[in-house]
Amino acid sequence: MGLFSSEIKVIIAVALSFTAYIILFFMASTSFDFMIKLMTFKRWKLLHRLVYIGGTFILIHSLLIGEHLQNWNWISITFAVLISFLLFLEGKRIFSNFTTLNSKEKKAKEEQ
């Protein structure tokens, strides 16, 4: 029976990785200037923001069935450090966006 006779965590990992593959496929196929003009920038940007979902699915996949991440060795420690750094940068970006939005809202209220 193949995949459907596997453990539930393997089925989940494969489903997540396949979804991430589809997201990355559409991102790669729309990464040309012609496609930006065809889709309009707003829709293109929305599609390309799915990279965060795809990346999360890939990370979950690797944690579920990644043989090298099951035990703490140099690969898993490096992985954890790099993911921590990535999460730090994303948090910093999100925080700066919120502070920028808040300052624009305060400025708009003061002008009224």
Give the list of residues 6+ apart from residue 33 with CB closer than 8 angstroms, or none.
none
Longest dimension (CA), the chain: 67
pLDDT tens-digit map of 11-49? 888 899 999 999 999 999 999 999 999 999 999 988 988
Write down the pLDDT at residue 99: 83
pLDDT band at 111 (very low <50, low <70, confident <90, very high): confident
CB 25 within 8 A of CB 31: no
pLDDT band at 69 (very low <50, low <70, confident <90, very high): low
Q: What is the pTM of this model?
A: 0.64
